[in-house]
Structure formats: structure tokens, C-alpha cells
Amino acid sequence: MRYADGPTAEAEVYIDAAPETVWALVTDINLPARFSSEFEGAEWLDGVTEPAPGAWFAGHNKHPAIGEWTTTSEIVACEPCREFAWSVGGAAEAAATWRFELQAEGGGTRLKQWMRMGPARSGLNIAIDAMPDKEERIVARRQAEHAANMQATVDGIKALAEGAID
């Protein structure tokens, strides 16, 4: 798969907790930093203190092959207990879009995290530009990294919501 194809990655888990409990966790923009090997934390911008469509936050990341960087993201969906999504670079110029989806299931919640690379350029394009013949391998590796971090995040949210960790 090539970057222009809009590669995706996803992870999901069943959580034995109500959607309201899970929602409070997925909308904490710093929480994934507890579980991700790359994401280091975030803060709301422009005086915002909670998620809402059109709100912006800065996210800080670190990767051994890339170094450290900060992105700004715009909340593009915020439907309580159902969907929370943001676009890196903003909706008009998304370098990536990330989304949590919650669905009531039995007495608990099915939580899915999904992301799509592009369509705007991102830091990954530096590597692709330097080694265009390896684009598919570069994209596949990045997809795998994202999927692993997302699975760690949804598993961590599960452990928090079910009281297995504090």
C-alpha cells in the first residue's frame, strides 16, 4: 500500500464497563501517553479545557528513528459515548485522522480505535521521499507501529475502566 492510498490501522477490545465510563477515558487527550511507546502527551490550545468539535490541541511524540515532534490537531467529531475523532493538521489539511468509536454491547462497551494516514503530507513522507522504492515497506511498518500502540491504548483503557489498574 502507498501513502496516497490512505493506509489505515485499527485496534479494538470489549470493555466490561458502561459507555459513559469509557467515554471519560477516551476523551482525556493525555491518557494514551500512559500506554503508547510514541505519544508523550498533549495540551488543549486557545483556552479550551475539554473536547468539542473545532477545538484544537497540541500533541507531543517521540520515535527512535524520527526524534521528537509536536503536532496540532482539530477535534472533528465529538458525539458523547459514541465517537471522538481528531485530524492532525486540522480537518482541511489532515496529515492523519484518528478516531475512537464506542458501541454499547451487552452490559459493556465495544471500543475501537482507528487511524488513517493522509491525505496531506506528514513526517512519514520524508522517509518515502528519500527511499521511494521502499514506500510500501515504510508504510507497512508505520501501520504496524500504529496498530501496536493503538492496541496497547485500548487494552490500557480496558484495564482502567474495569479497575484492573489505577
Whichever domain contains 120, its CATH number is 3.30.530.20
Q: What pLDDT was estimated at residue 65?
A: 84
The Cα–Cα gap between 145 and 124 comes to 12
Looking at the 3D structure of the chain, how many domains does it have? Answer: 1
The burial class, CB within 10 Å (0-12 / 13-18 / 19+), for 82 is: middle
Name the stretches of the chain with pLDDT < 50: none
Query: Exposed/middle/buried for 100, CB within 10 Å: 0-12, 13-18, 19+?
Result: buried
CB 111 within 8 A of CB 154: yes
**Which pLDDT does position 165 carry in this prediction?**
79
Is 100 within a domain?
yes
pLDDT of residue 84: 98
Assigned domain for 134 exists: yes
Whether this model's pTM surpasses 0.75: yes
Quick one: pLDDT at residue 124?
Answer: 85
Can you give the residue range of the structural domain that contains 90?
3-161
Alpha carbons 67 and 156: distance in angstroms, whole number: 25
Q: Outline where the chain has alpha helix (H).
A: 19-26, 124-130, 135-161
Residue 166 lies in a domain: no
Assigned domain for 26 exists: yes
State the pLDDT at residue 37: 94
The pLDDT value recorded for residue 66 is: 83
User: Is 14 part of any domain?
Assistant: yes
In a domain, 21, yes or no: yes
- Residue 5 DSSP code: G
Q: Edge-to-edge strand order for the sheet containing 56-63?
A: 8-15, 108-117, 96-105, 83-88, 67-79, 56-63, 39-44
Q: Please indicate, yes or no, if residue 133 is contained in any of the structural domains.
A: yes
Question: Tens of pLDDT along 44-69?
Answer: 999 999 999 999 999 999 999 888 99
